[in-house]
Amino acid sequence: MKNREVIERILKYHPQFPEDYHGCDDYKAGDPEAECTGVITALTPNIHVIREAIAHHANLIVVHEPTYYTSKDPAGWEEDFDNEVYRQKLKLIEDHGICIWRDHDHMHAHQPDSIFTGVLKYLGWEDQAETDTDTGLFGHWIVTLPEMTVRELAEYLMEKIGLHGARIVGNPESRITRAAFVGHLYPMEYHTRDGRTGEYSVKVIETLEQKADVIIPGEVIDWTVLSYIRDASELGLNKAAINIGHFNWEELGMRYMKDWLSELVTEVPVTYIPSGDMYTYLSKETER
């Protein structure tokens, strides 16, 4: 089967988009008409993932995040200066006949969200999570846990996702029972169905006040929710954030993609390759 035929099955599986859709989901490299020798699912097509695809003799990589380092994510480098990293990456892709397809908007269009269905599945939290959709922008997944410390939860995430470490805001020894996956904590407004607007970070603070002890966010800034958590901790309240990073946050969603894609495509092997934790942690020794 051709690379294009694999993508057609993926798109048929997903919620249907308008014919005039012009978002980021598209081919980023390679020949859609080439015969597919194998499929790799990965969060992002970094050099490690591309080399693993070559080692697996797979020429189609389906990814969730950008290929060439910009938010626009075109199929190439469109800036007016030379990018040596891009040129070497493209050469590696072209030398081995790799085709790359991005699957972002379609995966998040599922109800429930396809990425976080996989995250909850591989964290073992499918039966412990409830979705709070009354947040204006991002749905929050509220997970009920056996009582543990923030440190223990962070160590669990590190083990399950394969992290080098985790950043914590708040007291690592605080005892918690409810965790929430929340959206990105950067300055933005949300719009409700009745036309009201508000600051998304305020909705996250509301979640912490009423429904959760600790949040696991995507992107973060310091001056809204994280400052609230820091003050809460200094007042002796059990509030915390475990900041693992956007890519680590969604990694297990692409492991889940391998599960359902293997059922759609049986003619060629489908393999999940972790993109890997991009962070290296340097820290002073602290007392446990």
| Packed helices 246-264 and 3-13: angle between N→C axes, nearest 10 degrees | 100
Same domain as 100, residue 142: no
Instruction: Read off φ and ψ for residue 167, nearest 5 degrees.
Output: -95, 135
26 and 131, same domain (yes or no): no
CA 168/CA 215 separation, integer angstroms? 10
Cα Rg, the chain, nearest whole Å: 20
pLDDT band, very low/low/confident/very high, at 137 (cuts 50, 70, 90): low
Beta bridge partners of 214: 179, 240
The whole domain housing 139 covers 114-244
Same domain, 156 and 36: no
Place of tokens 């970070």: 201
Contacts 24+ apart (CB under 8 A), 88-91: 89/47, 89/50, 90/29
User: In whole angstroms, what is the distance from residue 282 CA to residue 288 CA?
Assistant: 17
Number of compact structural domains in the chain: 2
* Residue 214 in domain: yes
Q: Same domain for 127 and 207?
A: yes
Tens of pLDDT, residues 178-226: 999 999 998 877 766 677 788 889 989 999 999 999 999 999 999 999 9
User: Coil, strand or helix: which one is 177?
Assistant: strand
Quick: pLDDT tens for 222-241.
999 999 999 999 999 999 99
Can you tell me the distance from the alpha carbon of 99 to that of 58, in angstroms, rounded to the nearest whole number? 9
Dump pLDDT digits (tens) for 278-288: 999 998 865 54
Question: Per the domain annotation, does 279 fall within a domain?
Answer: no
What CATH number did the domain enclosing 125 receive?
Answer: 3.40.1390.30
Neighbours of 240 (CB within 10 A): 29
